[in-house]
Amino acid sequence: MVTGLRGVDLGVPDVAAHARFYTEVWRLSVAAERDGSVYLRGTGAYHHILALHPRDKPGLLCINLAAASRADVDRVHLRAKEAGASRIDPPAAIGEPGGGYGFIFADPDGRVVRVIAGDQRHADASVSPDRPLQVTHVVLNTPRQEDAAAFWVKALGFEVSDRSLLTFIRCNADHHNIAFHPGESSTLHHIAFEMAGIDSVMRGAGRMRDAGHPIEWGPGRHGPGNNVFAYFIGPDDFVIEYTAEVEKVDENYRVREPRDWAYPPGHSDLWGATSPPSDRMKAAQKKIQFARGLFHP
C-alpha cells in the first residue's frame, strides 16, 4: 500500500545556507519556496524529495512515504491506527507545495511519518550523471530495531529484506527504503540519495571534496542491497550518502541473517578497499534527533 519513500523534511537553523549547499554542491533543484521553507527536487518525478524548514536547531521533522491512491492513504491510516500509532492525524488535503492527500503520525519511537497520495509529479523526470534522482533510503538509529521494524511491517505493510548489524525493510522492489541501526536513542543515521551509477557517485564525491566535504566512508559496495556508496558529512552534521545500483528484489528474496553478511577482518564492505567509517562520521550519525511533536508545515 505504501509504494515508495518520497523524501524527508529537515529543520535547519540556516535554510539559505543549506539550500545553497543542496543545489550547488549536492545538485538538487529548487521546486518551490514558501514561508521561509525551501523544497528541493531530484531528477525523478516526485515534486520534492528534501524540504528545508527554519528551526532553532537541526532536526529530522518527518519522513514522507508515497501511496498509490487516496483510498490507499485511508487504508494505511486505518492500519497504522490499529497497529497502535499513538499520535495520528486524520487524512486531509496537504497545503504545502506539491499538495496531495495524506496523514501524519508518530511511530512508537517518536519518528514522525507522513503518507501521501495524489501529490503533484514532474513530467520531465530524467536521469542525469551529476544530479540525484531521489532519496532511496533513510537509516534510523533505535534501541529496539526489531520492534521498530515490526511496527513498520504491521502499520505500513513494509517487508523485512535482510538483517546484518541493521534491519533492512522495503515497500517496493528496492532492497531497502528504510533500515534500523542499533543506537541508544531514536536519531537519524543517514539519508541516501540515488545516483545514476558508480561514475555519478564518484563525480559527486569529487564535487564534495572540492567543497570541503571529503568522503567519510567509501567508495565501497554494501553487502545487503549490493549498492555502491560514498558517505559525507553535510551542513550541520547531517550524514548524507550518494549511492547507486541498489539491488532489486521480489517476493522470492531470501531474508539473510547477520552471520551471512560477515566481512573478512578489517573490511567494512564487499570490496575491502575503503577504510572503515570515520570517527567524525560515526559521531555525526548520532546527533540529529527527531523534532518533538507532529510536523505541521
CB 149 within 8 A of CB 45: no
Q: Confirm or reject binding of residue 236 to Fe ion (CB under 5 A).
A: no
- How far apart CA 88 and CA 297 sit, in angstroms, is 15
Site mask for Fe ion (CB under 5 A), range 196-235, x = bound: ----------------------------------------
To Fe ion, the closest distance from the beta carbon of 200 in angstroms equals 16
Which among 216, 154, 142 has a CA at the least distance from the CA of 179? 142
To Fe ion, the closest distance from the beta carbon of 136 in angstroms equals 8
CB 229 within 8 A of CB 241: yes
Q: Confirm or reject binding of residue 74 to Fe ion (CB under 5 A).
A: no
Nearer to Fe ion, 74 or 241 (CB): 241
Q: Which of 113, 192, 228, 239 binds Fe ion (CB under 5 A)?
A: 192
Give strand ranges (E) for the chain.
2-12, 29-34, 37-41, 50-54, 59-67, 87-88, 92-93, 101-106, 112-117, 134-142, 159-163, 167-170, 178-182, 187-194, 217-221, 228-233, 239-244
Q: Confirm or reject binding of residue 178 to Fe ion (CB under 5 A).
A: no
Q: Confirm or reject binding of residue 241 to Fe ion (CB under 5 A).
A: yes
Site mask for Fe ion (CB under 5 A), range 124-143, x = bound: --------------------
Cell of 151: 511496527
Q: Confirm or reject binding of residue 174 to Fe ion (CB under 5 A).
A: no
Provide the sign of the torsion angle of the four alpha carbons 19, 24, 28, 32, taken in this order.
positive
**Other C-beta atoms lying within 10 Å of the C-beta of residue 217:** 21
CB 245 within 8 A of CB 195: no
Nearer to Fe ion, 53 or 175 (CB): 175
**Other C-beta atoms lying within 10 Å of the C-beta of residue 294:** 16
DSSP H or E run through 144: none
To Fe ion, the closest distance from the beta carbon of 179 in angstroms equals 7
For Fe ion, which stretch binds (CB under 5 A), given 48-56, 188-196, 256-264, 271-279?
Answer: 188-196
- Give the residue nearest to Fe ion (CB): 192
Give, as one character, the DSSP assignment of residue 60: E
To Fe ion, the closest distance from the beta carbon of 224 in angstroms equals 10
To Fe ion, the closest distance from the beta carbon of 283 in angstroms equals 17
- How far apart CA 258 and CA 290 sit, in angstroms, is 28
| Residues in 16-55 at the binding interface with Fe ion, rule: CB under 5 A | none
| Per rule CB under 5 A, count of chain residues that contact Fe ion | 2
For Fe ion, which stretch binds (CB under 5 A), given 96-104, 189-197, 264-272, 274-282?
Answer: 189-197
To Fe ion, the closest distance from the beta carbon of 231 in angstroms equals 7
Binding site for Fe ion (CB under 5 A): 192, 241
